[in-house]
Structure 1
Amino acid sequence: MDFWPEFLANSWGREFVAGGFGGTAGVIAGYPLDTLRIRQQQCSSNKGSAFSILRNAVAREGPCALYRGMAAPLASVTFQNAIAFQTYAVLSRACDPNVAKDDPPSYKAVALGGIGTGAIQSIVLSPVELIKIRLQLQPKPQSNTNQPTIHKGPLDVARNILRKEGWRRGIYRGLTITVLRDAPAHGVYFWTYEYVREQLHPGVRKNGQETFRTMLLAGGLAGVASWVCCYPLDVIKTRIQAQSEFSTAKYSGIVDCFRTSVKEEGYSVLWRGLGTAVARAFVVNGAVFTAYETALRFILNNNSNNNNHEAIQTETAL
């Protein structure tokens, strides 16, 4: 009976629940744009605009095609965001040990904490994104018998990858490029968020009293900045994770994928889908930070009210 009050009374419990709300809001808000981004990155021709790819996908496969593979990130998002926010809180403090407990860490510590968070989170995120990408690029089932195997969901994809490709070359394909993308991107992400919210509301990093408008704007700009700085690496990551051991066009590694893609399609391929990614990043990260901060405030206020109520009851009993 006392599990939830005790769980929410410590920082890990609060970060876990608030991170889950934030992550879920972000996945739901931006998933159709994420599917569109993945298809743009994987497309071997730059003739198709974002709108034409979107229109063709909906016309041929139906609106549900934009949400294909969403179960994988939704299932892991609570744990993933709990790791991210809690790790960031610990690392940013550890990188600035001389700061007072009630004062926010320096911007340098924020960036370093973000870099460490991105690297650690990649261990969980890489398999989830690989499964998601395979499902997002999966064609709609057809009646002909020559079509490749159609997977029913994330668990089916995971089982198939493990059976045919194993752990290192299968489930964890693309881990290195994911770390290279996420470590600096998270440093930029958290630094931008902290800097923008402080510029909009001086002193807010200490009192935490920013408005919803500030949360949305700071979170959105943080997401945009983090994607712009790492986008070419994300394109390479998508192409590496989209292929399997049995793909006809197979890249031998990160450098080979980069060279082959640029040679065949030009340097512009490294920025293909950036507009979609930026639009998605603003929507998703605005939703993530707003839901996260709102949930955190609600939990803290609820804990405070419960403590006050218990104190009143104790005084009355005495």
Structure 2
Amino acid sequence: MHLADFIAGSVGGAFGVAVGYPLDTVKVRVQTQQRFTGVWHCILSTCKEEGIRGFYKGMSMPVTTVSVSSSVVFGVYRNVLQCLCQLRYGSQEAPPAKLDIFLSGLAGGVAQVSVMAPADIVKVRLQCQTEPYKVTDKQYKPKYRGPIHCLFTIAREEGVLGLYKGAGALALRDGPSFATYFLTYNTICGWLTPENQSQPEWKVVLFAGGVSGMCGWCFGTPMDVIKARLQMDGMGERRYRGFFHCITVSLRTEGPGVLFKGLGLNCIRAFPVNMSVFGMYELVVHFLRPVS
């Protein structure tokens, strides 16, 4: 097993969260709260009502958990890819086919759901908890006082399985999304790297990372919307009986466009975030691989 990829994925994932978290907060609110008419309305309202800190609600847990989940994604991806190359071509160093890269990315995306689902629901609940800023009563206390309190409150009120609300949609989002993600990254690096070079240049790594993130979100946004709505369903009156009911109600009340709410914002956020993730990942891998 190659441990360098687990470590490098962890560092890259944490760095990416720090870069893209404010836009992630805006995206989640636009997807789940109909009071916002668009991205700019959400940004201006958040600034006015909550200040800058409103964009960073619930970030402490994602920095930790995305670090772990990113470690799982990159580590599983690399090790599954090398296993496939060994089985299909007789050598781990054999050039992988596009299908090998796609399947390895799919495995990595699905594998990290068990780690990511509880942290993701905490992140979404905290990002969308805006009530304390709307009332004048200074004694009013928010339902969730922080990430750990939110985690235990959900487990107490909704059961341990409540922490995995939207996990099915999360798997359907992250499996194809990460498969596309890694396939796009490797394809662009292959196109832009001269035949006499074994490794892509840094500008190629950064560009390929940014574009791969955007492509991944093009496939992942519909399930991202459904996931966020299922996760938010425990904060007030229950609207959805399950995964398919959520899709049906959302399409009937808001039309097909609802599945692509936040797509533009996802793509804008994805470029700098994944440019940072892959840049940091490759940097750490190059540092660790000789000793891994």
- Taking structure 1 as the reference length, what is the TM-score of the superposition? 0.85
CA contact (8 A) 1:17 1:78 kept: no
RMSD of aligned residue pairs (Cα, Å):
2.1
CA contact (8 A) 2:213 2:271 kept: yes
Partner of 2:179: 187
Partner of 2:205: 215
Question: How many residues are matched?
Answer: 288
Candidates 268, 276, 280, aligned match of 1:287 = 276
Matched letter for residue 106 of structure 1: A
> Residues 213 and 165 (structure 1 numbering): CA distance in 2 closer, same or farther, change over 3 Å?
same
Q: Structure 1: which 4+ aligned runs deviate by more than 3 Å?
A: 145-150
CA contact (8 A) 2:108 2:178 kept: yes
Candidates 197, 205, 211, aligned match of 2:189 = 197
Matched letter for residue 197 of structure 1: C
Gaps of 5+ in 2: none
In 2, Cα distance between equivalents of 1:164 and 1:49: 32
Helix, strand or coil at the partner of 2:112? helix
Matched letter for residue 155 of structure 1: I
| 1:154 aligns to 2:147 (yes or no) | yes
CA contact (8 A) 1:37 1:277 kept: yes
Gaps of 5+ in 1: 1-9, 305-318
Partner of 1:137: 128
| 1:259 aligns to 2:248 (yes or no) | yes
In 2, Cα distance between equivalents of 1:67 and 1:140: 16
Matched letter for residue 16 of structure 1: F
Q: CA deviation at 1:95?
A: 2.8
Matched letter for residue 159 of structure 1: F
- After superposing the two structures, state which structure 1 stretch, 219-228 or 248-257, moved more: 248-257
Candidates 78, 86, 98, aligned match of 2:88 = 98
CA contact (8 A) 1:16 1:78 kept: no
**Percent of matched pairs sharing the same residue:** 32
In 2, Cα distance between equivalents of 1:112 and 1:180: 14
Which one has a bigger Cα radius of gyration? 1
Partner of 1:309: none
Helix, strand or coil at the partner of 1:102? coil
Matched letter for residue 115 of structure 2: V
CA contact (8 A) 1:190 1:222 kept: yes
Partner of 1:312: none
Helix, strand or coil at the partner of 1:11? coil
Q: CA deviation at 1:151?
A: 1.9
In 1, Cα distance between equivalents of 2:281 and 2:76: 15
Partner of 1:121: 112
Partner of 1:277: 266
In 1, Cα distance between equivalents of 2:111 and 2:273: 21
Partner of 1:314: none
Partner of 1:59: 48
CA contact (8 A) 2:166 2:230 kept: yes
